[in-house]
Structure 1
Amino acid sequence: MLVALPASIAFGVTIYAAIAPSYAAIGALAGIIGATVIGLVASTLGGTDRLISAPCAPAAAVLSAFAIELVGQGIDPNTIVLLLVLLGVLAGIVQLLLGFIGVGRLIKYIPYPVVSGYLSGVGLIIIGSQIPKFVGAAVGTRWWEALLAPWSWDWRALAIGTATVIVAVAAPKITKKVPGTILGIVAGLLTYFALAIQEPKLWEITGNPLVIGPLGAARDGYFAAITERWHDIGDLHLSQIASLFGSALTLAALLSIDTLKTCVVIDQLTRTQHDSNRELVAQGIANISSAAVGGTPGAGTMGASLVNLNSGAQTRVSGVMEGVLSLIAALIFGSFLAWLPVATLAGILIVIGIRMLDREPLRFIESRATVFDFAVVLAVVVVALTIGLIAASAVGVAMAIILFVREQIGGSVVRHKVYANQMSSTWYRPEAEMRIIEQKGNQAVIFELQGSLFFGTTQQLYSELEPELGKRNYVILDLKRVQSVDVTAAHLLHNVRQTLQERGAMLLFSGVREKLPNGRNLREFLEQTGVVNASDDSVVRVFPELDAAIEWVEDHILGEVQAPAETETPIELQEMDLFSHRKDETLKDLETRMEQRTYRAGETIYAQGAAGDEIFWIRRGTVRIFAPLGAGRSRHIASFSRGDFFGGLAFLDNRPRGNDAVALTETEVYVLSREQFDLLAEEHKKLAFSLITAIARTLAIRLRHADTELTMLQEY
């Protein structure tokens, strides 16, 4: 309360003094009411522990600028007061709607340069508005006019404001027990009364330009004034009310950003998680309530919240108590508040404004990579100072879009580009077939895409694809990591399809998801835009995974199509590459040592952790190997078909299985246990040696191939 209440009074004075100096006391009262009502309502309904809500700098900047504009138009002061009240109510309604429709989560993602420019712009506006009051210049003097005319300064106001600023800035370095704001106000008051000793006129409160003056907060007069205001609001023209919506949107956005920024900081310090939408609803209701009873709008304030946190606050009750104590302080010290020097409040706001200036973006100038970000900050600040916060909000949104597009364009949408002879499928093929794929695998190129495919990245993507379209028979585009695709990118893909079709080449898609992060069904979208034709796969094919697409290409490069499992005939030992040059008698002895087994489709042949004393040769069917990933998940890492063997590593080192083997189709296998192999080795040492050598050689080829692929992947 000691931090929030003085600042709230200062903000209220800033807003209403812009109408006329005589309205400063009304502003002080509006600040007190705002600190009380917002503190009570926002903390009661909000979901963020330790958050202190009160009138704030963004509200003061927007509302004082609004009041100055109306004064310039010659609007009656009483009408300006009514419009300020209505503007606060409308801003609260906008916040309420933003919370209900779930925009709270989005406001947090406004880029840092835009928020930084916003806050720095508000800080400079606050400083500029207080300079004339700080130096005691005549009413209506602009800050640059005041600075260029030192002969117009009131040295008494300057002395009071200077004492306030010096103590407010220096006090935190000496003690943390009393807020610097309070000590600064005390310093200003002491300076004022020291001057009053030498100038008796300063002991008079009425007509004294150096102090706020009587608040006029008598109970009957206050309620009568509020009732009269709402009666007069009913007489406003519809056009006057409609003209407020632009300012209401700007004010609501600033208050929401200020609140949620403070909530994020509290979350980081306390390791908690706030509910953005609930907080916006609470802040909206609080601002409606505050404006309805003559208070100024506000938001969750950083300074008071951090003081609250450091003082040991744990729950929302601390925010409620801030509102209660603000009311008690106003009732007890109401007459004393009338003696607050205007220059003291100006000094406090100047200190707050300086602290709002974000100096971090100055480091952006040091690097070419961040110069544009600094330009965004500078643009928002300049527009806020020269045109207004409404225009600055529009510039901020436009800059946010530009920042997004720039980041998307800056990163490559092609994550990985390889050829089929550099990245094979998980299907383990015979050595002869692997040589063919190594020789002819460059007929197929694989592009792993990432990020957003949209108008900003289309040209970049085409420049990567174009050199390959006239050379390759197969172009695979893996969309697994793609976040979104727009119509421009779909048009590009359609052109790629047509280019390949003219050459008789094929376009293959993999990882086409039915639900992207933006909710779009990617496969359906590609069909609607003509990229994919569900009834014709002669030019474009879609595969669920990249491995399936590579496997399909390998089959076509080899000029074969895998025979269905039902028509496969079991292969004999002598037909397998590993045993093709062995004597029939030797193979008969080996076969007698082997066990023949049959597994149904989907049946587990062995599981991770099982004893590893058997090796398997596939006579018929297909087996897939899965590596467990934890939490019940697994990944397909290899496939074996007729004539291949699997389970060799565990057979050699006799350690537990490291993965799962599952029959994809009905599968027949030869099984040789380590015990039977040892018996065979006693009778046929040459066969046993040749068998181990052949197994080790095949495993070495597989391992060498896997190492090559891993090395390539590490380059990306």
Structure 2
Amino acid sequence: MYRLLSPSLKGDVFGGITAGVVALPLALAFGVASGAGAAAGLYGAIALGLIAALFGGTQVQISGPTGPMTVVFASAITTFGGSFEMALAVVLIGGLLQIVLGLLRTGALIHFIPYPVISGFMSGIGVIIIILQLAPLLGAPASASPLIALSRLGDTFHNINPEALGLGLLTLGIVFLTPLKISRFVPSPLIALIVCTLLSYFAGFNVAEIGHIPTGLPDLQLPNFTLQDWSVIVTLGVTLALLGSIDSLLTSLVADSITQTHHQPNRELIGQGLGNMLCSLIGGLPGAGATMRTVVNVNSGGTTRLSGVIHALFLLTLLMGAAPLASQIPLAVLAGILIKVGFDILDYRMLKRLKTAPRPETLIMATVFALTVLVDLVMAVGVGVVLAMGMLTQRVARESDISFDDRNGHHSHHVEKVGPGVRVVQVKGPLFFGSASHMLDRIETVDKVIDTQDIIIDCRKVDFMDLTAIFALDEMVERMLQHKLRPKVVTTPSIKAQLLQLNTAYLTEAIIFTNMKSALH
């Protein structure tokens, strides 16, 4: 009750309605682009917008269909041969996984996703949207995938509908060139939608239109799938969940920076998951937190969850009464709006720095981008993460160092005597699967040194050891024993406890010490 009576009520109402005005053309366009129809876009904007506003962790966030989520959903429909019910099963699994991610408190992990992976994926999504909307912009039927769209470009340009092209170019002109002082009050996509639709209607243009949009509340839609498709559904569901989570949490970070507040990432994931699960039950398009709509909401005065609720109720009101009017919107107009969205998604910050950015990061970004556009969204994310992990592993492995010390502390890559027949091998840095083989190769030279009876492996400056490194160390001790050497390991108390707990064959308490003095005696 306090919220409704607070001074922020006016700002929430205006912010919510303004965000709804911005969301309307985008919801219709995303619905058509997905292959599910304009109504699915509206259903998704209403259901997700309402549930995420009520249960999410970001006060001012506006949620609804977004470009990346639309591309994944369209990919699901294509994968299952046009089966809308099976695509909804993907949305259901994706929403459920988002809730699980929230319950497992993984929201903070957004900060650990490599930027080149996000950049390549988002730019790839932007290019996919642009490529897929070229045909509708020219008055030709849309294609199901970027490769098919590119292969049909010749036929598309050969069969241009001049009226559709004119409407599309006018739409592009409006959305790209409308001055900011005007678009602050009336969003340029809405201006383009109204102006170009009225022009088409009164001029009697022969162009493809959205077609019938049902009025009233949506019917219950039960997702359907077969066990033989279960693995594909789960794979696409994981992609949808991860992408929606990343998209939403990035938008939450933007909202935090504008409002000087702090969102609750795990609660946000749960709210997004609940909203997407509802979308799957009513035939709605999945979505995520939408950056542009959120910024519009804040700039228009929205300060609480009420603004997101009003945004959803505004769209619901339009659905109940104005749906027949939307049926006459030309597809070329929606294509123009979506092409602008595609250009907005491109990561210009990374693209401007491709020549100066470190080569490994550039390679990861380019690989993810190419796989996203030309191959598969799931593969792009997987390959990008694996490449980033490999690059990180290589960098961490370089931090490990193995040298041989004499009693005076002089470092050398040659074996130096510490005492009669005693050698000390000093190991520094992290010791894990990425550096274990390097350690084995280096210490193998000690076996060949004559007049050596005792070898002390000094691991006091090792940050951590993983299981691979421990087993490698155990094998190393075994090899030394076979060469009639007496190995000793000096390490920290915590690592000593870890080594003894594993109860390996050769790393026993008799050869493990926590100080050098004890090992030398």
Q: Identify the match of residue 60 of structure 1 among 59, 70, 73.
A: 70
Q: CA shift at 1:417, angstroms?
A: 7.4
Deviations 1:536-568 (A, max 9, x none): 2xxx2321xxxxx245468x5xxxxxxxxxxxx
How do 1:464-479 and structure 2 match up within 5 A?
464-465=442-443, 470=449, 475-479=456-460
Q: For the Cα contact (< 8 Å) 2:164–2:207, is it kept in 1?
A: no
Structure 1 unaligned spans of 5+: 18-26, 203-207, 424-438, 516-520, 544-548, 557-716
Q: For the Cα contact (< 8 Å) 1:364–1:373, is it kept in 2?
A: no
Quote the Cα distance in structure 2 between the aligned partners of 1:364 and 1:531: 52
Q: For the Cα contact (< 8 Å) 2:421–2:454, is it kept in 1?
A: no
Q: For the Cα contact (< 8 Å) 1:90–1:248, is it kept in 2?
A: yes
Q: For the Cα contact (< 8 Å) 1:55–1:298, is it kept in 2?
A: yes
Q: Identify the match of residue 47 of structure 2 among 17, 37, 45.
A: 37
Structure 2 CA distance for partners of 1:373 and 1:531, relative to 1, 3 Å: farther
Quote the Cα distance in structure 1 between the aligned partners of 2:173 and 2:163: 16
Corresponding residue number in structure 2 for 1:375? 363
Q: Identify the match of residue 260 of structure 1 among 234, 240, 249.
A: 249
Quote the Cα distance in structure 2 between the aligned partners of 1:260 and 1:442: 60
Q: Identify the match of residue 384 of structure 1 among 349, 361, 372.
A: 372
How do 1:57-96 and structure 2 match up within 5 A?
57-71=67-81, 80-96=83-99
Corresponding residue number in structure 2 for 1:167? 174
- Which letter does structure 1 place at the counterpart of 2:62? I
Quote the Cα distance in structure 2 between the aligned partners of 1:289 and 1:96: 13
Quote the Cα distance in structure 2 between the aligned partners of 1:493 and 1:420: 26
Q: CA shift at 1:463, angstroms?
A: 4.8
Q: CA shift at 1:385, angstroms?
A: 2.6
1:342 to 2:318 alignment: no
Q: CA shift at 1:356, angstroms?
A: 1.6
Quote the Cα distance in structure 2 between the aligned partners of 1:175 and 1:461: 65
Corresponding residue number in structure 2 for 1:630? none
Corresponding residue number in structure 1 for 2:4? none
Corresponding residue number in structure 2 for 1:683? none
- Which letter does structure 1 place at the counterpart of 2:513? V
Structure 2 CA distance for partners of 1:416 and 1:164, relative to 1, 3 Å: farther
Structure 2 CA distance for partners of 1:400 and 1:541, relative to 1, 3 Å: same
Structure 2 CA distance for partners of 1:196 and 1:418, relative to 1, 3 Å: same
1:5 to 2:21 alignment: no
1:278 to 2:278 alignment: no
Structure 2 CA distance for partners of 1:385 and 1:312, relative to 1, 3 Å: same
SS at structure 2 position matched to 1:324: helix
Q: Identify the match of residue 522 of structure 1 among 491, 498, 502.
A: 498
Q: For the Cα contact (< 8 Å) 1:52–1:304, is it kept in 2?
A: yes
Quote the Cα distance in structure 2 between the aligned partners of 1:441 and 1:176: 83
Structure 2 CA distance for partners of 1:494 and 1:152, relative to 1, 3 Å: same
Deviations 1:88-119 (A, max 9, x none): 22221222233334444445523222222222
SS at structure 1 position matched to 2:362: helix
SS at structure 1 position matched to 2:399: coil
Deviations 1:307-354 (A, max 9, x none): 334445444333333222332344454343233332221112111112
What is the count of residue pairs matched by the alignment?
A: 489
Corresponding residue number in structure 2 for 1:560? none
Q: For the Cα contact (< 8 Å) 1:161–1:188, is it kept in 2?
A: no
Corresponding residue number in structure 1 for 2:413? none
Quote the Cα distance in structure 1 between the aligned partners of 2:100 and 2:374: 30
Q: CA shift at 1:162, angstroms?
A: 1.8
Corresponding residue number in structure 2 for 1:421? 408
Q: CA shift at 1:66, angstroms?
A: 2.8
How do 1:548-559 and structure 2 match up within 5 A?
549-552=515-518, 556=521
SS at structure 1 position matched to 2:508: coil
Structure 2 CA distance for partners of 1:329 and 1:276, relative to 1, 3 Å: same
Q: For the Cα contact (< 8 Å) 2:455–2:485, is it kept in 1?
A: no
Quote the Cα distance in structure 2 between the aligned partners of 1:418 and 1:139: 70
Q: For the Cα contact (< 8 Å) 2:297–2:307, is it kept in 1?
A: yes
Quote the Cα distance in structure 1 between the aligned partners of 2:231 and 2:436: 42
Q: For the Cα contact (< 8 Å) 1:443–1:472, is it kept in 2?
A: yes
Deviations 1:146-181 (A, max 9, x none): 5434231112222222222222223355556236xx
Structure 2 CA distance for partners of 1:483 and 1:510, relative to 1, 3 Å: closer
Quote the Cα distance in structure 1 between the aligned partners of 2:67 and 2:207: 24
Q: Identify the match of residue 153 of structure 1 among 156, 160, 167.
A: 160
1:412 to 2:399 alignment: yes
Corresponding residue number in structure 1 for 2:414? none
Q: CA shift at 1:133, angstroms?
A: 0.7
Corresponding residue number in structure 2 for 1:293? 282
Quote the Cα distance in structure 2 between the aligned partners of 1:283 and 1:186: 30
SS at structure 2 position matched to 1:477: strand
Q: Identify the match of residue 192 of structure 2 among 187, 196, 200.
A: 187
Q: For the Cα contact (< 8 Å) 1:91–1:251, is it kept in 2?
A: yes
Quote the Cα distance in structure 2 between the aligned partners of 1:293 and 1:96: 19
SS at structure 2 position matched to 1:11: helix
Q: For the Cα contact (< 8 Å) 1:362–1:374, is it kept in 2?
A: no
Structure 2 CA distance for partners of 1:524 and 1:120, relative to 1, 3 Å: farther
- Which letter does structure 1 place at the counterpart of 2:30? F
1:144 to 2:147 alignment: no
Q: For the Cα contact (< 8 Å) 1:454–1:485, is it kept in 2?
A: yes
Q: For the Cα contact (< 8 Å) 1:51–1:319, is it kept in 2?
A: yes
Q: For the Cα contact (< 8 Å) 1:450–1:479, is it kept in 2?
A: no
1:447 to 2:450 alignment: no
Q: For the Cα contact (< 8 Å) 1:185–1:344, is it kept in 2?
A: no
Q: CA shift at 1:303, angstroms?
A: 2.0
- Which letter does structure 1 place at the counterpart of 2:194? L
Q: For the Cα contact (< 8 Å) 1:421–1:440, is it kept in 2?
A: no
Q: For the Cα contact (< 8 Å) 2:477–2:487, is it kept in 1?
A: no
How do 1:310-325 and structure 2 match up within 5 A?
310-325=299-314
SS at structure 2 position matched to 1:49: coil
Quote the Cα distance in structure 2 between the aligned partners of 1:113 and 1:259: 18
Q: For the Cα contact (< 8 Å) 2:477–2:507, is it kept in 1?
A: no
Deviations 1:546-595 (A, max 9, x none): xxx245468x5xxxxxxxxxxxxxxxxxxxxxxxxxxxxxxxxxxxxxxx
Structure 2 CA distance for partners of 1:158 and 1:53, relative to 1, 3 Å: same
Quote the Cα distance in structure 2 between the aligned partners of 1:161 and 1:483: 60
Structure 2 CA distance for partners of 1:415 and 1:366, relative to 1, 3 Å: farther
Question: Taking structure 1 as the reference length, what is the TM-score of the superposition?
Answer: 0.61
Q: Identify the match of residue 476 of structure 2 among 477, 495, 499.
A: 495
Q: CA shift at 1:190, angstroms?
A: 2.0
Quote the Cα distance in structure 2 between the aligned partners of 1:61 and 1:34: 14
- Which letter does structure 1 place at the counterpart of 2:24? L
Corresponding residue number in structure 1 for 2:184? 177
Q: For the Cα contact (< 8 Å) 1:510–1:542, is it kept in 2?
A: yes
Q: For the Cα contact (< 8 Å) 1:162–1:347, is it kept in 2?
A: yes
Identity percentage over the alignment?
27
Quote the Cα distance in structure 1 between the aligned partners of 2:230 and 2:480: 59
How do 1:448-463 and structure 2 match up within 5 A?
449-451=428-430, 453-463=431-441
Query: What do you get for the CA RMSD once the two structures are aligned?
Result: 3.6
Structure 2 CA distance for partners of 1:192 and 1:12, relative to 1, 3 Å: closer
Structure 2 unaligned spans of 5+: 1-18, 411-417
Q: CA shift at 1:485, angstroms?
A: 1.6
Q: CA shift at 1:61, angstroms?
A: 0.5
SS at structure 2 position matched to 1:3: helix
Q: For the Cα contact (< 8 Å) 2:474–2:504, is it kept in 1?
A: no
Corresponding residue number in structure 2 for 1:110? 113
Q: For the Cα contact (< 8 Å) 2:171–2:336, is it kept in 1?
A: yes
| Structure of larger gyration radius | 1
Quote the Cα distance in structure 1 between the aligned partners of 2:261 and 2:405: 45
Q: CA shift at 1:126, angstroms?
A: 1.5
1:511 to 2:518 alignment: no
SS at structure 2 position matched to 1:244: helix
